[in-house]
């Protein structure tokens, strides 16, 4: 097991133990203040620096005074380039290259959305990335034709309308994945 895997495993066991202790204390009529135990990635608007771009919608971020976390950017989906057992999709390499140009070394603010979970099934923090100039990465990526809206949430995300508007603009201009050779399709 890698050191990162060991830390994650230890962290999950610790969280389970603390939750169990909290439940036991609650049954005994006591309350446990667990507010200080939330991981830094869950703080509203955590700041950090992108240290590794995985693909167009996933990056590793070193939090200021905190751990390095993997972030799955909310509200968008880019064509696959690194997903196991999935061939590289049309416009995937271009979207990943654009993400590198936009995010490598960038200072970002990670912002949660009340409609989304904190983490996905792969343990990635689900956040919007706001660039240093205030630009929302999800809206920018959709507007440049590098991503499409990812509407897989039970409630609309707070930035869904902006992402859809940016995507519609990219479609009308036929840029990125909306132009040749993909013409809106990611499959090869």
The residues, ordered by sequence, that sit 6+ positions from 90 with a Cβ below 8 Å of its Cβ are 79, 177, 181, 182, 185, 186, 187, 188
Neighbour count for residue 39 (Cβ, 10 Å) = 16
Residues 67 and 8: beta-carbon distance below 8 Å: no
Query: Residue 56 in 3-state DSSP?
Result: coil
Distance CA 60, CA 56 (A): 12
Residues 166 and 139: beta-carbon distance below 8 Å: yes
Q: Which residues are catalytic?
A: 72, 80, 124
Q: What is the dihedral of CA 166, 83, 106, 48, to 10 degrees?
A: 110
């Amino acid at each position: 097991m890698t050191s990162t895997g060991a830390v994650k495993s230890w962290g999950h066991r610790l969280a389970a133990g603390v939750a169990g202790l909290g439940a036991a204390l609650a049954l005994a009529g006591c309350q446990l203040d667990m507010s200080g135990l939330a991981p830094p990635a869950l703080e509203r608007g955590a700041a950090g620096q992108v240290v590794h771009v995985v693909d167009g919608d996933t990056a590793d971020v070193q939090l200021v005074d905190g751990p390095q976390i993997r972030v799955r950017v909310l509200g968008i989906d880019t064509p696959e380039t690194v997903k196991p057992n999935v061939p590289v999709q049309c416009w995937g390499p271009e979207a990943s290259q654009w993400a590198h140009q936009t995010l490598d070394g960038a200072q970002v603010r990670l912002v949660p959305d009340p409609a989304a979970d904190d983490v996905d099934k792969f343990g990635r923090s689900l956040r919007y990335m706001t660039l240093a100039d205030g630009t929302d990465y999800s809206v920018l990526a959709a507007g440049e034709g590098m991503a499409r809206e990812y509407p897989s949430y039970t409630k609309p995300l707070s930035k869904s309308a902006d992402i859809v508007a940016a995507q519609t603009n990219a479609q009308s201009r036929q840029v990125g994945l909306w132009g040749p050779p993909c013409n809106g399709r990611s499959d090869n």
